Amino acid sequence: MRQQKHVRFDWAIKRLLRQKANFNILEGFLSELLKNDIHILEIIDTESNQETERDKFNRVDILVKNNKDELIIIEIQNSYAIDYFLRILFGISKAITEHIQVGDQWTAVKKVISINIVYFDLGRGEDYIYKGETTFFGMHQKDELQLSNAQKKLFKKETIKDLYPEIYLIKVNNFDDTAKDTLDEWIYFLKNSEIKKDFTAKGLKEAEEVLKIANMEDEERRAYQRFGEVLSDRASQALSIEIEIEMAVEKALKNEKSEKEKLKKEAEESQKRGILAMIKNTDLSNEAIAKALNVNIEKVKAIRRKKE
């Protein structure tokens, strides 16, 4: 029997998970991904900063402040964006600069964790979860740069990478639907909007009821259906563009092949005329003609036999 369908995670973030009563669902996802118990102090709304209607359907983002005074960006991108890596960098920079006051000490710079859930092929890689950190290695000694004891005390961090942003990339479409651990159970939900009965990941038990489509009010269900239709339209448009590009490339390659064959044929005809002219107007041997025209001697012999 097919499992009960639930709302997509991006819709849940837009409408449901910003409510304090549902923080435990988002906390569960973050705890499984970051391998640490995450407690949300507040959610800072960032969707209001979106400039276009297209952004509201293609992208969902949310900024979370946890009990460690860290900022966690969760962004979901549905449509292909070739420059998305730079968008990640911009989002991190924006979060840092907007949460430090003029005159603050640099210790006020907050740790940022950027979690990016994408439904397209970002970069080249076979995995479905990638993590990026900042470390420093000596160019000569190859040693990793460490914090001094005084810096550890000042920053309350153990390593340099703990100061710098962490970036997580979840390439949902690369997941093979086989949940090998509790984090995979969340990835399965992100891809399929289904929560299986035997899933035990943190937050999914609460999500089981909260995110059921069947539990939605009629108006909310209609809005969600509209949301799904827009995403389907976007996916259809992207597929159409992809097919058109493939057809254009195929046509260009075909034309290129045809042109090459035409040039090759013209070259062969020109070569043949040159051999015939030398046979007719000179007493040179086959070897001499082949050498003079830089052609295969067998070709010269064949043309001479045909002429005779």
Give the tens place of pLDDT for each residue, 123-136.
999 999 999 999 99
147 and 60, same structural domain?
A: yes
pTM value?
Answer: 0.73
Angle at 94 between CA 90 and CA 95, to 5 degrees: 120
pLDDT value at 3 more than 50: no
Q: Is residue 89 part of a domain?
A: yes
Q: Is residue 100 part of a domain?
A: yes
pLDDT at position 242: 73
Q: Is residue 138 part of a domain?
A: yes
Q: What is the spatial distance between Cα 299 and Cα 271, in angstroms, rounded to a whole number?
A: 10
pLDDT value at 49 more than 50: no
pLDDT value at 179 more than 50: yes
Q: Is residue 226 part of a domain?
A: no
Parent domain of 116: 9-215
What pLDDT digit, counting tens, does each position of 92-134 carry?
999 999 999 988 999 999 999 999 999 988 999 999 999 999 9
89 and 148, same structural domain?
A: yes
Mean pLDDT over 290-302 rounds to 85
Q: Is residue 302 part of a domain?
A: yes
285 and 250, same structural domain?
A: yes
167 and 18, same structural domain?
A: yes
Q: What residues contact 94, with CB distance under 8 A and at least 6 apart?
A: none
How many CA within 13 A on the CB side of residue 202? 17
pLDDT at position 228: 73
Q: Is residue 234 part of a domain?
A: no
What pLDDT digit, counting tens, does each position of 185-198 carry?
999 999 999 999 99
247 and 134, same structural domain?
A: no
pLDDT at position 308: 64
Among residues 129, 48, 19, the alpha carbon closest in space to that of 27 is found at: 19
Q: Is residue 149 part of a domain?
A: yes
Q: Are 299 and 291 in contact (CB under 8 A)?
A: no
Mean pLDDT over 283-306 rounds to 84
pLDDT value at 54 more than 60: no
Q: Is residue 80 part of a domain?
A: yes
261 and 202, same structural domain?
A: no
Displacement of CA 116 from its chain's centroid (Å): 9
pLDDT at position 269: 87
User: For the ranges 26-30, 47-51, 82-86, 145-149, which has the lowest average pLDDT?
Assistant: 47-51
Q: What is the spatial distance between Cα 44 and Cα 72, in angstroms, rounded to a whole number?
A: 10
What pLDDT digit, counting tens, does each position of 200-234 carry?
999 999 998 888 886 777 777 788 778 777 777 77
Strand order in the sheet with 166-171: 40-44, 59-66, 71-77, 112-118, 166-171, 129-132
Q: What is the spatial distance between Cα 45 and Cα 24, in angstroms, rounded to a whole number?
A: 17
Q: How many domains does the chain have?
A: 2
76 and 29, same structural domain?
A: yes
Q: Helix (H, G, I), strand (E, B), or coil: what is residue 125?
A: coil
Percentage with pLDDT > 90 across the chain: 48
304 confidence band (pLDDT: 50, 70, 90): confident
Q: What share of the chain is helix, strand, coil (3-state, %, to 5)?
A: 55, 15, 30
Distances (CA, A) of 107 to 111, 156, 165, 231, 278: 10, 10, 14, 42, 87
167 and 266, same structural domain?
A: no
Helix axes 182-192, 23-34, angle to 10 degrees: 120
Place of tokens 């910003």: 18
pLDDT at position 47: 54
Q: Are 258 and 247 in contact (CB under 8 A)?
A: no
161 and 13, same structural domain?
A: yes
Average pLDDT of the residues of the chain: 87
Q: Are 163 and 111 in contact (CB under 8 A)?
A: yes
Q: What are phi and psi of 2, to 5 degrees?
A: -70, 140
